Amino acid sequence: MKRHGVNFFRSLGKPVQTLAPTSFRPVRSISWDFGLILAPALLWLAIVQSRSTLIHPSCIDPAHPCKKQEVFFVDQLSIDFQNGTADAYSYLTQNLSITLAITLPLLWNLYRAYSGRNLILHRLREMWADFCVGLQAILWNGLFTEMAHTGFHRPRPFIYGDLATQGLDPAHYTSFYSGHTSVTAAANVIVLLLLISRQAPTWLILADLGITEGLIFCTGYFRILAGRHFLTDVICGGIAGTLAALLVFAVHPKEPHSRLP
């Protein structure tokens, strides 16, 4: 029994790739990384600037005004929430997730360099590759989210309490799906993928996994409590952000086996 306990704690210090040899390889920097950052950023900005053209304020239509009774039954509770503190907290968890997406892989690569696992040039290349992929996951997720906003133009929950004023702004028809929740998911999931691919120890992966789940849940909860999104918005946002991170990581070129540490 004692031996099993010692082996368990030893396994926490091993890289996840050691425990699961079929895992994926780390990403590498490529010449068109900057383009993969600039393209979604510009498209995202262009769609946001076009909201007034792409989104029709449907709730103020006298013939078909928005009614609470028409909202999906599990979402109706969100209509009664408008907590400003929760709104502020949702920005905090979102921004913390973005910060972790940039800094955590950087810190892990710095540790690997300090421990002598990499030459300085290879270490800098790894840092740049992880930074680019993390930023790409966030920006492509933002673009996909804005496309959903303008495609579905679902009214936000707070519109139903004041159609005459809140229903006039096209920006209030961007409820589906939750951008805060999706970017939190995308940022945290890409960190998890990068750490696994860079052979982070199991304890760090498990800690980051716990942080990831906590931040995604808290962000979605705060968005509902603030009256900014429905339950289905935050659930879909979490799924969409996760898929965006997986997609960016999957399609980005990887290091050849010969370069793996």
Q: Give Cα 41 to chain centroid, integer Å.
A: 15
Contacts 24+ apart (CB under 8 A), 8-12: 11/202, 12/201, 12/202, 12/203, 12/206
Give the domain CATH number at 96: 1.20.144
pLDDT value for 140: 98
Residue found by looking up tokens 């029709």 in the block: 56
pLDDT value for 11: 47
**Residue 116 belongs to a domain:** yes
**Residue 53 belongs to a domain:** no
pLDDT value for 22: 41
pLDDT value for 8: 43
Residue found by looking up tokens 């849940």 in the block: 217
* Residues 134, 140, 142, 144, CA torsion sign: negative
Residue found by looking up tokens 């804005």 in the block: 146
Which pLDDT tens digits describe the chain residue by residue (261 residues)?
545 444 444 445 555 544 444 446 889 989 999 999 999 999 999 999 999 999 999 898 888 889 888 999 899 988 989 899 999 999 999 999 999 998 999 888 888 777 765 567 777 888 899 999 999 999 999 999 999 999 999 999 999 988 889 999 999 999 999 999 999 999 999 999 999 998 889 999 999 999 999 999 999 999 999 999 999 999 999 999 999 999 999 999 998 864 555
**Residue 55 belongs to a domain:** no
Nearest CA-CA partner of 126 in 200, 39, 40, 212: 200
CA–CA distance, 65 with 133 (Å, rounded to integer): 43
Q: Number of structural domains, the chain?
A: 1
CA–CA distance, 66 with 120 (Å, rounded to integer): 60
CA–CA distance, 73 with 68 (Å, rounded to integer): 9
pLDDT value for 19: 43
CA–CA distance, 246 with 3 (Å, rounded to integer): 37
Residue partners of 109: CB distance under 8 A and separation at least 6: 118, 123, 126, 127, 130, 198
**Residue 223 belongs to a domain:** yes
pLDDT value for 157: 95
pLDDT value for 123: 78
pLDDT value for 61: 85
CA–CA distance, 162 with 204 (Å, rounded to integer): 47
Nearest CA-CA partner of 66 in 174, 149, 154: 154
pLDDT value for 20: 42
**Residue 92 belongs to a domain:** yes
**Residue 220 belongs to a domain:** yes
**Residue 138 belongs to a domain:** yes
**Residue 33 belongs to a domain:** no
Domain with 118, as residue range(s), is 79-261
Nearest CA-CA partner of 232 in 156, 150, 173: 156
Task: Give pLDDT tens digits for 4-52.
Answer: 444 444 445 555 544 444 446 889 989 999 999 999 999 999 999 999 9
pLDDT value for 94: 97
Read off the pTM. Answer: 0.87
